[in-house]
Structures are given as structure tokens and as C-alpha cells.
Amino acid sequence: MGQENQRPPKRSWAEPWKVKVVEPIRMTSLAERQRALIAAGYNTFLLRSEHVYIDLLTDSGTSAMSDWQWAGMMMGDEAYAGSRNFYNLEAAVREYYGYRHLVPTHQGRGAEHLLSRILIKPGDVVPGNMYFTTTRLHQELCGATFEDVVVAEGHDPDDESPFKGNVDLDKLDTLIAKVGAKKIPYIALAATVNMAGGQPVSMANVKAVHALAKRHGIRVILDATRAVENAYFIQQREAGYAGKSVRDILKEFCSYTDGCTMSGKKDSLVNIGGWLALNEDEVFEEARNLVVVFEGLHTYGGMAGRDMEAMARGIVESVADDHIRARIGQVEYLGQQLIDAGVPIVRPIGGHAVYLNARAFYPQLTQDQFPAQTLAALLYENSGVRAMERGIVSAGRDPVTGKHHYPKLELVRLTIPRRVYTQAHMDVTAESVIEVFDNRAKATGLKMTYEPKYLRFFQARFEVI
């Protein structure tokens, strides 16, 4: 006390929780992993989790719940109709996201399905800031064409712009002029943009998208799956928001949209669940009617009462500034180690994951030799760390021409589950990625031996070339 500070105080992102229960995980031998890879057709989705050491396949449904959430599980009201947990969830969505009406669904794609069915007519066009796999497929199954209107920086893994998820307003304007507002049922705005590397949308951009859409009478529907993470980036990067809470930023962001689809398995810190939220009464009426056909009654939508309670409580925890700072701090910690070692990753580091740039790993491979799929397989073989391909396999085929989509980005996603792994797990992951990078000249690529019709990345099989 009384001493003058020599330097500004440093405070790391250490987690605002301590561990109460542990789940053992097992290390495997190289021979075991090689056998497991062949059995899985070199697709990390087809590995058994018991063969995985550090599982960075996805942040979806893989969060650790808090003691308060687990206590909520015991408060499940499993009444078929009118469960009190539904009303708690509805209140949480209203309070933190600000939408008027809630339709619960079993997970995010359930909400996408209902929304697409209600709003899309065959021949429609849905603009969006980069596609997401399930979102685009539901739009296409209802007869729409997806049009990418993300800013060009979103497709450039080396561009350091702070808001690479933004909508390119000129592109959107041109598209509206070309196809006509009547053919555009809504603009699909994702925050953050998963396929661009977890990149955020600025408040200024959502405001401008909203204003442009209103001029033409077009809705803006938010994919709110990681909107809390997006709000944190606004707080950190956008002028005027440094002093505001993530909670307030989230609510302001949502206020520029007309509704949202939500996968609660991400931001909301639960293992299962989702919802569709809407401000328009008529669209809500229709959704509340359709949910009964595809998901379950409108007060549970495919979820158990206890799961709705865990999600209601997860929403409250998810918007706490110290939680989100530690969550994204851990992702940045891993990403920074890789940057320091010269490993090519998407920059800036995203909210939920570090994305390895597989094209830069393997310039010797063509995109038809699946560089990102190859990298994910080699990383698993090296250490038992499981990642996911986000490149040509995930992009699928054009439904009209039957040709591969050739995305600019060929990425491997190291996705960090929330509140699950320690800093030491991040260190081991970085060490393994660096070793695979050092051996990059030896990679020979893969060929696809089995291709499912829908969302092929989940079940496709490969062989080494």
C-alpha cells in the first residue's frame, strides 16, 4: 500500500469457478489410434469418444454445467403440458434476449426447420453472412437458394479486421435489387459466424442491416447460437461499448432483429436444447402450431422439463462478464501459442474455436485431396486430440449441378467446450498441432470412399492416397 505501480496491473483470464467433479479420460497408444482411424474411415465424427484424449470436435452440447444448473435438473417439472420450467425458460429468453415469443425445440436445427417451413416459398432467396450447414440445408429443402453476403474479409484467413462476420451492405443491396424484396423472406444473420472462424458482427453492422431490411419490408432473423460471444467481441472491439455489460450489449443486438433460431448447446451451457424466438404474432402462431407436429407440445418442444430448467439457468450464467471473458480467454490462450510457433491459423482468433488453415499446412494437396480432413486425421493420430473438418467436405455439393462447393477456406476447427478443459490440456493440444505442422511435408491426402446424401461431413469415409 502506498507504493506506486511500476507497471499496469496484469490480470489473466482465470476461470470464475473451481472443479467439483471430474471425469477421467484415457490416453491411447499410437497403434490404438491408427486402428481407430482406419475403423472410422479417417473421419473424426466416426471415432468412438473412448478413443479420444482431448475432444475438440465441437463446443455443441459439450459444456460442463454448474452446480446451480444441476440443482435445476432436480427441479424438472415433467408435466406434459405447462411445465413450470418452460415458463422459466420463456422468462429468461425475454429478459436476456428480449424477444416476445418463445417456441422450444429439441436443438437449433429444430428451430431452423420450423422457421424455414413457415417463411420460405419455393424459388425464394435467403441472404446470409456465410452459410451454416444445417441452416442452409433447411432453407434448400424448403425450396430456397442461399446467397452469401458476408464481407470479403470473412473469406480471408489472414485478414485481421475486427468484424469479419459483417454483412456486406452493397452486396445485400444489389441482391435485393436483383431478385426483388418479395422473394426474400428474411435475412439470415449469424453472430458469430461459425464457418468464418467464429468471427463477430459489429453493432453498427446489425443496425445498418436492420435499417436496410426495414426499408424493403424484409425480416432479419438472427442465428443467436453464439450471440453472447459476439456481444463480448463488441465490448472488446467496438467504440462506445467498452463500458457496457455483455448482458446489455446482447439485448441491444437482438433488438435489431425480428426473431432468432438458437442452439442452446453452445452459449447456453447445456447438453441439449434450443429454441425459436419471434416478435411477430402471426409467425409465432404458425410456429406454435407446427412445433406440435415435428418436435412436441409448445411448452416442451422435444425437451424434458429438467433440460429446459438447465437452459434457463445456463442463459443467466452465460451472459456474466467474468464467465465469457474466461471462456474466450482460453480460446485466445491456445490460439496465441500457435501464432507464436508460426502455425497458420485464422486471425483474429475466434470466439469458440481456433481454426487451423489447412491449405497453408499442405500446399502440396489439391482441394479434392481434402487437406482439412487430412489434417484432422493426422492430428488425432499424433496425440488423440479430436478436431473437425471445415472445408470442402463440410461445404457439400450444389443441389442443382451436383458439383462440390469449393469454399475458399479449408479449415480444421479446434473447438473448445465451455468450462471443461484446463490450461494444461490447451498446452498439450498446441504441442501436438506444432508437431503435425513440423511434419507437414509428409502428408499425402485422402480420397472419399463413401458419401452420404445430406450433411456428408458427419458420415463420409476416406482412405489414404
Ligand X SMILES: *Cc1c(COP(=O)(O)O)cnc(C)c1O
Applying CB under 6 A, which of residues 134, 166, 337, 429 lies at the interface with ligand X?
Answer: 134
Distances (CA, A) of 13 to 5, 9, 16, 236: 21, 13, 9, 14
CB of 224 to ligand X, least distance (A): 9
Applying CB under 6 A, which of residues 76, 108, 301, 335 lies at the interface with ligand X?
Answer: 108
Residues 171-210 that bind ligand X (CB under 6 A): 190, 194
Q: Which residue is nearest to ligand X (CB)?
A: 108
Can you say whether the dihedral through the CA atoms of 443, 449, 453, 456 is positive or negative?
negative
For residue 3, give every residue at least 6 positions away whose Cβ sits within 8 Å of its Cβ, in sequence order, or none: none
From the list 59, 223, 258, 307, the catalytic residue is: 223
Residues 211-230 that bind ligand X (CB under 6 A): 223, 225
From the list 219, 226, 266, 419, the catalytic residue is: 266
Residue 279's CB: how many other CB atoms inside 10 A?
17
**Which residue, among 436, 424, 387, has the nearest Cα to 43 in the 3D structure?**
387
- CA 269 centroid distance within chain: 13
Applying CB under 6 A, which of residues 86, 96, 131, 132 lies at the interface with ligand X?
Answer: 132
Residue 85's CB: how many other CB atoms inside 10 A?
28
CB 102 within 8 A of CB 277: yes
Q: Among this protein's residues, is 457 annotated catalytic?
A: yes
d(CA 45, CA 415): 13
Q: Among this protein's residues, is 284 annotated catalytic?
A: no
Q: Among this protein's residues, is 133 annotated catalytic?
A: yes
Applying CB under 6 A, which of residues 116, 199, 230, 263 lies at the interface with ligand X?
Answer: 263
For ligand X, the closer CB: 176 or 312? 312
d(CA 105, CA 102): 10
Interface region with ligand X, contact rule CB under 6 A, candidates 132-140, 373-381, 392-400, 418-426: 132-140
How big is the site for ligand X, counted in residues (CB under 6 A)?
15
**Preceding amide of 9 cis, omega within 30:** no
**Which residue, among 248, 238, 312, has the nearest Cα to 275 in the 3D structure?**
312
Q: Among this protein's residues, is 361 annotated catalytic?
A: no
d(CA 357, CA 377): 15
CB of 250 to ligand X, least distance (A): 16
For ligand X, the closer CB: 134 or 299? 134
From the list 44, 58, 62, 133, the catalytic residue is: 133
Residues 273-312 that bind ligand X (CB under 6 A): 274
415: which strand partners? 353
Q: Among this protein's residues, is 266 annotated catalytic?
A: yes
Q: Among this protein's residues, is 223 annotated catalytic?
A: yes
For ligand X, the closer CB: 60 or 337? 60
Q: Among this protein's residues, is 132 annotated catalytic?
A: yes
| Binding footprint of ligand X on the chain (CB under 6 A) | 60, 107-109, 132, 134-135, 190, 194, 223, 225, 263, 265-266, 274
User: Annotated active-site positions, please?
Assistant: 80, 132-133, 223, 266, 390, 457
